[in-house]
């Protein structure tokens, strides 16, 4: 089993298709897996899109400054997902 801690967190912005394990400021000890749908460059940095239908995204610079709703990110890279993955409807509730 992989131990997810501050020593092995993602150091650079993910790419589309990467599988992330995230912890939000509300999720406590719960870890959430999600696949990056899109990565958009903007004047304020890089936007990481997790779900287009619910407009779930976070700004990579804001994450590194501790100003994002996403608290911790681990990038597992390109992983083939099954239909059971990414079935959550609201990231903001976690």
Strands (E), 1-94: 18-24, 32-35, 38-42, 45-51, 56-59, 70-78
- Does residue 15 have a pLDDT over 90? yes
Residue 20 and residue 88 in contact, taking contact as beta carbons nearer than 8 Å: no
What share of the chain in percent tops pLDDT 70?
80
**Looking at the predicted structure, is the pLDDT value of residue 91 above 80?**
no
Tell whether the model's pLDDT for residue 24 goes beyond 60. yes
| Confidence check: pLDDT of 25 > 60 | yes
Q: Does the predicted model carry a pTM greater than 0.85?
A: no
Mean pLDDT of 66-84: 82
- 3-state class of 46 per DSSP? strand
**When comparing pLDDT for 79 and 32, which is higher?**
32
């Amino acid at each position: 089993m992989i131990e997810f801690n501050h020593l092995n967190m993602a150091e650079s912005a993910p790419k589309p298709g990467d599988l992330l394990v995230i912890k939000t400021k509300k999720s406590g000890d719960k870890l959430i897996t999600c696949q990056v749908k899109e990565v958009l460059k903007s004047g304020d940095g890089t936007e990481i899109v997790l779900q287009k239908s619910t407009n779930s995204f976070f700004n990579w610079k804001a994450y590194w400054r501790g100003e994002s709703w996403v608290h911790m990110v681990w990038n597992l890279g390109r992983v083939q997902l099954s239909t059971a993955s990414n079935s959550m409807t609201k990231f903001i509730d976690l």
